[in-house]
């Protein structure tokens, strides 16, 4: 135990040479003490010390030569991380009690201790949240048991079991199952009419960090919550969703996909819908979208990329020979200098559904957050500005 603390302390403070010397002195003094205490066990203690020294030779070399963490084998990196976790926990840092097995691969591929400490902090907070949630669930179970017992007592005495006014009326209490039923009924007609919206989940390999996947799942859940805003929302397909992929696994840890009234499939949208009906929405497209096409199936890339530097959706549309369009954002919205033009999935869904129901880009672009916008143009103002930019220089007017 003490050897592990000394070694890990050296890992954290980068005092490699002094740690190696102190550790070897500790081992030698330990062998001398064992020899003086018991001559009969001296050979066993010497051999065990030599065996320990041989087993940790890679660790001495790692400390002495200041090798990179990624140069170690997977088993050696796991050993270093175990020592690191033990030391950080004893020093009072935020370390979870148990590291989930699915997180070990990510943990062993982080090269610096700072990045690993960031992941430790995230796992610690998640573990703390789950503990608090478990305590709340246990409290609710106790409360429900007591309420059920009290209800049975009141019914045995011939008294009403609750003070809820709707108990003795024609009205019913609506719960989560009824909310799900309402969503299913809203999506039933669009599904039969073929009004579809596809979320392409085939960019999982481009989300190297787990944070991007969590952000993407948040956006899909926000989209699901916005379905009831519209009287005829488009039915949502999640295509190219691998059954054993990281995105599906992260989804199942949050909530079951079956409860979201979405259609999930591993198949490509090319195998489900006719190619001539598909339109890929990409900010890099040179084709500007003018109106909502009710016969088209719009595709939105499932990408939670803040930078937006790579034209992933545009490149995929070109490779698959699919029509592609972009929103006419610059005609109606002026963005700030430091704000990006990337939109989340729920914002794109709300823009499409508002355009579908109203036909107005001005109303649709109200779902772009105000923090990104400096100025919003109305349709009349935008037409004047567009005419001035196109015909002003030709007739001698300054733009």
200 and 149 in a single domain? The answer is no
168 pLDDT exceeds 70? no
* The predicted structure's pLDDT at residue 4: 46
174 pLDDT exceeds 90? no
* The predicted structure's pLDDT at residue 262: 81
Cα three-residue angle 127-130-135, rounded to 5 degrees: 130
Alpha carbon distances (Å) from 42 to 25, 98, 130: 18, 39, 50
* The predicted structure's pLDDT at residue 173: 64
Residue 333 region, left (φ>0) first, then alpha (ψ -120 to 50), else beta?
beta
Question: Would residue 231 count as lying in a domain?
Answer: yes
19 pLDDT exceeds 80? no
| 196 vs 299: CA distance, rounded Å | 9
Question: Would residue 319 count as lying in a domain?
Answer: yes
* The predicted structure's pLDDT at residue 208: 59
| 205 vs 64: CA distance, rounded Å | 37
Confidence of residue 195 (pLDDT cuts 50, 70, 90): confident
Question: Would residue 13 count as lying in a domain?
Answer: no
Contact 14, 34 (CB under 8 A): no
Contact 262, 236 (CB under 8 A): yes
129 and 246 in a single domain? The answer is no
Contact 185, 233 (CB under 8 A): no
326 and 180 in a single domain? The answer is yes
187 and 154 in a single domain? The answer is no
Contact 80, 37 (CB under 8 A): no
190 and 158 in a single domain? The answer is no
1 pLDDT exceeds 80? no
Question: Would residue 140 count as lying in a domain?
Answer: yes
* The predicted structure's pLDDT at residue 244: 81
Average model confidence (pLDDT) across the chain: 76
Which residues contact residue 397 at a Cβ distance below 8 angstroms, ignoring those fewer than 6 apart?
388, 391
Confidence of residue 324 (pLDDT cuts 50, 70, 90): very high
| 5 vs 179: CA distance, rounded Å | 55
* Full residue range of the structural domain in which residue 119 is found: 61-162
Contact 47, 91 (CB under 8 A): no
Which residues in 323-351 are b (16+ Cβ under 10 Å) and which e? bbbbbebeebbeeeeeeeeebbbbbbbbb
Confidence of residue 166 (pLDDT cuts 50, 70, 90): low
152 and 228 in a single domain? The answer is no
Which one has a higher pLDDT value, 186 or 83?
Answer: 83
Question: Would residue 345 count as lying in a domain?
Answer: yes
Which one has a higher pLDDT value, 306 or 311?
Answer: 311
- Count of Cβ atoms closer than 10 Å to residue 108 Cβ: 18
180 and 150 in a single domain? The answer is no
Range of lowest pLDDT (1-15, 93-107, 173-187, 314-328): 1-15
Return the top range by mean pLDDT from 30-44, 53-67, 216-230, 344-358: 344-358
| 109 vs 78: CA distance, rounded Å | 10
| 34 vs 28: CA distance, rounded Å | 10
């Amino acid at each position: 135990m003490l050897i592990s603390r000394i070694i890990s302390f050296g890992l954290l403070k980068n005092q490699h040479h002094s740690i190696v010397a102190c550790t070897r002195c500790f081992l030698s003094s330990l062998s001398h003490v064992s020899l003086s205490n018991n001559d009969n066990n001296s050979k066993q203690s010497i051999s065990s010390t030599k065996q320990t020294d041989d087993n940790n030779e890679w660790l001495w070399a790692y400390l002495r030569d200041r090798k990179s963490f990624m140069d170690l084998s997977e088993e050696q990196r796991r050993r270093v991380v175990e020592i690191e976790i033990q030391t950080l926990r004893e020093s009072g840092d935020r370390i979870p009690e148990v590291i989930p097995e699915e997180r070990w691969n990510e943990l062993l591929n982080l090269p610096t201790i700072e990045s690993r400490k960031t992941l430790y902090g995230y796992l610690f907070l998640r573990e703390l949240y789950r503990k608090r949630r478990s305590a709340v669930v246990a409290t609710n179970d106790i409360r429900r048991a007591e309420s059920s017992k009290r209800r049975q007592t009141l019914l045995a005495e011939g008294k009403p079991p609750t003070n809820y006014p709707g108990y003795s009326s024609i009205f019913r209490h609506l719960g989560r199952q009824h909310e799900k039923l309402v969503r299913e009924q809203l999506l039933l007609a669009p599904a039969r009419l073929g009004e579809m919206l596809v979320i392409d989940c085939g960019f999982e390999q481009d989300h190297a960090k787990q944070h991007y996947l969590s952000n993407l799942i948040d956006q899909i859940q926000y989209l699901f919550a916005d379905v009831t805003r519209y009287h005829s929302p488009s039915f949502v397909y999640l295509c190219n969703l691998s059954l054993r992929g990281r995105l599906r696994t992260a989804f199942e840890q949050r909530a079951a996909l079956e409860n979201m009234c979405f259609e999930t499939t591993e198949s490509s949208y090319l195998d489900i819908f006719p190619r001539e009906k598909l339109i890929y929405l990409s900010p890099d497209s040179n084709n500007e979208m003018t109106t909502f096409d009710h016969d088209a199936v719009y595709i939105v890339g499932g990408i939670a990329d803040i930078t937006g530097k790579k034209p992933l959706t545009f490149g995929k549309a070109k490779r698959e020979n699919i029509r592609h369009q972009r929103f006419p954002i610059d005609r109606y919205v002026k963005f700030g200098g430091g704000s990006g033009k990337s939109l989340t999935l729920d914002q794109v869904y709300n823009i499409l559904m508002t355009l579908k129901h109203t036909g107005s880009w001005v109303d649709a672009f109200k779902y772009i957050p105000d923090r990104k916008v400096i100025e919003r143009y109305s349709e009349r103002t935008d037409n004047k500005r567009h005419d001035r930019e196109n015909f002003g220089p030709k007739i001698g007017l300054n733009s």
